[in-house]
Homo-oligomer: A and B are copies of this chain.
Amino acid sequence: MAKRRERAPRQADVARLAGVSQSAVSKVIAGGAEAARIPEATRRKVLEAVRELGYVANPSARSLRNKRNMLLGVHTFEPVFPHARESFFFEFLLGIEERAEELGYDLVLFTSTGASDGRRRVYRNGVNRLNLADGSVLLGAVTDKGDLARLAGEGYPFVHIGRREVPGAEFPCVVPDYRGVTGEIVDMLADQGHRHLAYLRATFGLEPYEDRRRGYAEAVARLGLQDRSPGARGESGLTTEWIEELISGPETAVVAESLPLADLLAAELRIRGLRIPRDLSVVVLEDLAPEVTTPWVALQIPRVQIGRTAIDVLVDVLEDPDGVAESTVVPCSVVPGATVAPAPR
């Protein structure tokens, strides 16, 4: 920059040139109802002065005066960009950016909260940087529940992508409709003639799996199907005994909570000379990464849509801070594959 930044013209300068007061300038510039009360001649004088001086509103002063910055924050508990391509979380940002742009908000990426241990926290030195934005979208696998509780306690407006239950703290989450899509998957299996199902349950107990389990149980009950598998009773993992039981039993379709479980099952079946889907139909209740080559029938999380919805929910919260903090559920779709076939007779 060759020359130093000279002081930008302000409304007062415009006012002097136009021979009116600063507040008159403010009113003309604001447009709207107030400006209607100002006669055409004055308005023209002011606008002429604005043009002549090249006046631009100072956004800091503006947002100091109003309480809105038109800034939405994005806090990711892990760095976004560095692993963005591979990251599960990346696509959410597509939707977030899209929708924020449509609504005229800018985005603040909270990157400065990184600690030396590589973990990101909302609070650094006890200071909540997020306050800088009108509200924030939070996401990440290793969400710090203490941070969430404190944020909610302070009344800071935020939305979490993915379900998180924090006792004593209420805040809106935007979550994939695992329950609904699991029901659809069971419907589809029933349509194909499957009456006896088995459920493979993951060993870890993250919250979203509860939704799948509920959706599964409901659909099985609703359709009057049979499931006497250990997974449906609440036992996790996959043992040799279960597989033997499965093979000798009436089950024709398996619903697996996670990809590793499905892969394990596939391997065991292969050893025994059984084939998917000829001998057994298998569905995976996960969104599979593109590099997975097995053509599993699986579910697909509408990440972009979730990002967009998160922004909508956040803006709703900003506009009505007293509204209820409910979770918003976004429908998932089923990815067609080659691991499901009509039930053998």
The residue that A82 contacts in the complex, of B6, B55, B56, B97, with Cβ under 8 A, is B97
Interface flags, A164-177, vs B, CB<8A=1, else 0: 00000011000000
Q: A54-B154, A106-B109, A106-B111 are in contact. Are A131 and B59 (CB under 8 A)?
A: yes
- Comparing A61-69, A215-223, A265-273, A328-336, the segment that makes contact with chain B is A61-69
Q: A127-B57, A325-B2 are in contact. Are A97 and B69 (CB under 8 A)?
A: no
Question: Are B58 and A61 interface neighbours, CB within 8 A?
Answer: no
Question: Are B81 and A171 interface neighbours, CB within 8 A?
Answer: no
- Distance, CA A156 to CA B53, complexed state (A): 13
- Distance, CA A110 to CA B51, complexed state (A): 20
- Give the size category of A's interface with B: 35 or more
Question: Are B131 and A170 interface neighbours, CB within 8 A?
Answer: no
Chain B residue with minimal CB distance to A135?
B5
- Distance, CA A57 to CA B101, complexed state (A): 26
- Distance, CA A152 to CA B322, complexed state (A): 44
The residue that A50 contacts in the complex, of B57, B59, B126, B171, with Cβ under 8 A, is B126
Question: Are A108 and B108 interface neighbours, CB within 8 A?
Answer: yes
Question: Are A127 and B50 interface neighbours, CB within 8 A?
Answer: yes
Q: Does A203 contact B (CB under 8 A)?
A: no
A118 to chain B, nearest CB (A): 10
Question: Are B5 and A157 interface neighbours, CB within 8 A?
Answer: yes
Q: Most chain-B CB neighbours within 10 Å: which of A4, A93, A107, A317?
A: A107
The residue that A58 contacts in the complex, of B64, B79, B171, with Cβ under 8 A, is B64
The residue that A85 contacts in the complex, of B4, B85, B127, B317, with Cβ under 8 A, is B85
Q: Does A240 contact B (CB under 8 A)?
A: no
Q: Which of chain B's residues have a CB closer than 8 A to the CB of A94?
A: 81-82, 84
- Distance, CA A152 to CA B2, complexed state (A): 8
- Distance, CA A106 to CA B131, complexed state (A): 12
- Distance, CA A98 to CA B82, complexed state (A): 8
Q: Which of chain B's residues have a CB closer than 8 A to the CB of A260?
A: none
Question: Are A5 and B63 interface neighbours, CB within 8 A?
Answer: no
A316 to chain B, nearest CB (A): 11
Chain B residue with minimal CB distance to A103?
B112
Q: Does A142 contact B (CB under 8 A)?
A: no
- Distance, CA A128 to CA B82, complexed state (A): 30
- Distance, CA A132 to CA B133, complexed state (A): 12
Q: A82-B97, A108-B109, A112-B106 are in contact. Are A127 and B56 (CB under 8 A)?
A: yes
Question: Are B4 and A322 interface neighbours, CB within 8 A?
Answer: yes
16 contacts between A and B (CB under 8 A): A1-B157, A2-B155, A3-B155, A5-B154, A5-B156, A50-B127, A56-B131, A59-B127, A59-B131, A59-B132, A64-B64, A82-B97, A105-B111, A105-B112, A106-B109, A108-B109
Beyond A55-B127, A71-B108, list 6 extra A-B contacts (CB 8 Å). A3-B155, A8-B131, A60-B69, A61-B64, A84-B90, A101-B112
Nearest first, the 9 A-B pairs at minimum CB distance are A5-B155, A51-B126, A101-B111, A107-B109, A56-B131, A81-B97, A60-B64, A60-B63, A60-B60
